[in-house]
Amino acid sequence: MTAALDCPQPHVRNWHADRALSQAAGSALKTRPDYRHHDVALEHLDALSPVLTNGYYNHAPMVVEALSAMGQGREALAWLDREQDSFTPVDARTGPIDPDDWRELIAARGRYADWRAYFQDALETQPWREVAAIWVNRLTFGFSSSAAHGVLQTAHAVRALQSDATPARLRALANALAGWASRHSSLPIKDQPNQGVLDFQAALNWIKPLSDKHAPGEGAITAGYAQLVHAPGFAEEVSLVDLSGDLDARFDALMAVMAKLFLSLARTPYTVIVFTHAVTGTAAARTLSQIVPDAVGRQLLFRAFEHGAALKTAFTPLALQSEAPRKPLPPGDPARRAARHGDDHMIKLTEAVLDAYRRTHNPVFLDVIAQAFAVLPEPDAR
């Protein structure tokens, strides 16, 4: 009897999958920014509070810039029209900000209008890069403030200014820094000296999730951060991460690790939103690292890692209650599809991973887009 041949079977090509991935990749590589409509959209946002009617952070300044960055800026005004009922106006000013007392005045949520006026004045007399660099350095220890939306909004404002420093974009930076300063907070942990012994993936593997007893359910992401008091080893675990090497390359490596974290745990609409912040927070930190000294850039790198690790610690138990989705295929034109989808997190996530894909050609970023679209329904379908 002839023995069965023990050899690998030929790979069967899935031409449908190959075509979908090729289309998505080609579209990603061809995507170009279009800021022609950006300043008009910003004018609609200038008098708005950073807080929505439901109490959550206003994503609109981030969304309109993300749309412009991925060539969909013409959709910004229509998006704002759909969302206008959720916006709230800026409160009245209560008094000037004394820059010598800034440590005492950050985290004063009733002082947003005062901080806004302070940053507007600063940006009229100083170069915007100088103002941004000083305050990113001062505020970075509160990276996770409002689920990292202060960092995110500031990074979107900075990127638009790198294209053209118009008055509307300078006001957008003032608004972003004011939102970060007035809602500033840090994670409920005590920093440990960085040990620098593990790469990002190995260090993230050391991060332990909360017990089911202390794990948060669906709700504000910041409620999950509060539960870190029940993770006594967290600060030491995140201190293991190695921050050395070329900073841009390290950010790209961290983006890939956070993309894999998303693919592992973004299983429901809620957990898609949660772990979107791990990816977009890292992208925002990378943008801000380009305008600050190297030492501050590495602090941003660490805080971005810490932020993603905090999300893993807090929300892994909730995520694992649902089955992992089957691997879907990305849309052929992700930027246009995200703009049409309309969800604020979908738009920001798509832009962040398209930008990462253009730099690295790493297909993990196309997988993130595919999974997000597969799991998160369009707003009208919820």
- Note the pLDDT of residue 332: 87
Whether the predicted pLDDT of 134 surpasses 70: yes
Separation of alpha carbons 267 and 277, rounded Å:
14
**Sorting pLDDT into bands at 50, 70 and 90, what band is 329?**
confident
Q: What's the mean pLDDT in 248-277?
A: 98
Q: State the pLDDT at residue 31.
A: 79
pLDDT of residue 16: 52
Q: What is the per-residue pLDDT for 380?
A: 63
- The predicted-structure confidence for 91-131, as pLDDT tens digits, reads as follows 999 999 998 999 999 998 899 999 999 999 999 999 999 99
Q: Which residue has the higher pLDDT, 375 or 6?
A: 375
Residues forming beta bridges with residue 89, ordered by sequence position: 48
Q: Which residue has the higher pLDDT, 15 or 308?
A: 308
Measured in Å, how far apart are the chain's first and last C-alpha atoms?
61
Please check the confidence at residue 76 and state whether its pLDDT lies above 50: yes
Query: Do 52 and 87 contact (CB within 8 A), yes or no?
Result: yes
Is pLDDT above 90 for 353? Answer: yes
Confirm if 80 and 42 have CB atoms less than 8 A apart: no
